[in-house]
Structure 1
Amino acid sequence: MSERRIATVALVVRDYDEAIGWYAEKLGFVLAEDADLGGGKRWVTLDPGNGGARLLLARADGERQASRIGDQTGGRVFLFLETDDFARDHAIMLAKGVSFKEEPRRETYGTVAVFADLYGNLWDLIEPKH
């Protein structure tokens, strides 16, 4: 049987460097690739650390794509950032100015809280139950 996985998820952004800065500073993501593709386009990926899917920053091209910045899923949580220590990462993110939309809560699947990125996309910070 072949091995498959989701390796990269595209996120529409307003500006490459603005997004790189936010994800690196606020979430601790590491810039994995930044290649010039010509015509103002770049292949920019960020690694959250310790495996998992990379985030591909895709600068909006035109009004239609720009209208989706911050709302790629119609206001639903879009991405899920798993952690092995919710309290630690929640405290660090709060100290760095990340906007949480709720207080942490315990669910049957783990500890979770929704936060917004620089564009308003909703994410879950989650420590799964094992």
Structure 2
Amino acid sequence: MKQAIVHIALVVRDYDEAIQFYTEKLHFTLVEDTYQPEQDKRWVVVSPPGTNGTTILLARASKPVQEPFIGDQAGGRVFLFLGTDDFWRDFDEMKEKQIEFVREPKETDYGIVAVFKDLYGNLWDLVQFKEGHPMYKRVMKE
């Protein structure tokens, strides 16, 4: 059996501002942006550069009950983890692009990690795994 997590839905305020953040500041690829008239919404999918793994579905809050979750989908915990093959390259560029880091880089037993906020305040780990860590091969392979 082979299965995969294909998309993770991320609730956003506005499609276009979210696309701009992910494509311009994080270099994600816009995989799909399709209008769905029957639901009056867009199907917007982005993906980190150089990967064929899980993508992010940018899902605009369409009901008032969804709006409080914009920027707080994990209740203040780190929600998403962006693995990289070159931590310092990405960290320095993200700082240049004025992405806010709420925890500075730290060497750990599994690699180098820092926590940043996306445009809505969701917390992300930027992480480069050490060779030998189980996630190292997954990041380097994809």
Amino acid of the structure 2 residue aligned with 1:24: T
Partner in structure 1 of residue 138 of structure 2 = none
Q: SS where residue 104 of structure 1 aligns? A: strand
Amino acid of the structure 2 residue aligned with 1:123: W
| 1:93-108 → structure 2 map (5 Å cutoff) | 93-108=94-109
Flag structure 1 segments of 5+ consecutive residues without an equivalent. Answer: none
Query: Deviation of residue 40 (structure 1)?
Result: 3.0
> Is 1:112 the counterpart of 2:120 in the alignment?
no
Q: SS where residue 67 of structure 1 aligns? A: helix
Partner in structure 1 of residue 7 of structure 2 = 8
Partner in structure 2 of residue 45 of structure 1 = 45
Amino acid of the structure 1 residue aligned with 2:46: L
Task: Give the number of the structure whose residues are more often helix, by fraction.
Answer: 2
> Within 1, Cα distance between the matches of 2:7 and 2:95?
26
| 1:48-127 → structure 2 map (5 Å cutoff) | 48-49=48-49, 50-127=51-128
> Within 1, Cα distance between the matches of 2:79 and 2:89?
22
> Within 2, Cα distance between the matches of 1:92 and 1:46?
19
Give per-residue Cα distances to partners, 1:46-65, cap 9 Å, x unaligned.
01122221110000011110
Identity of aligned residues (%): 55
> Within 2, Cα distance between the matches of 1:102 and 1:73?
17
> Within 2, Cα distance between the matches of 1:104 and 1:112?
5
Amino acid of the structure 2 residue aligned with 1:115: F
Q: CA RMSD in A?
A: 0.9
> Within 2, Cα distance between the matches of 1:29 and 1:40?
25
Name the count of aligned residue pairs.
Answer: 129
Partner in structure 2 of residue 17 of structure 1 = 16
> Within 2, Cα distance between the matches of 1:60 and 1:32?
20
> Within 2, Cα distance between the matches of 1:76 and 1:84?
24
When the two structures are superposed, what TM-score results if normalisation uses the length of structure 1?
Answer: 0.96
When the two structures are superposed, what TM-score results if normalisation uses the length of structure 2?
Answer: 0.88
Give per-residue Cα distances to partners, 1:71-104, cap 9 Å, x unaligned.
0110000000000100000011111111111210
Q: SS where residue 52 of structure 1 aligns? A: coil
Amino acid of the structure 2 residue aligned with 1:124: D
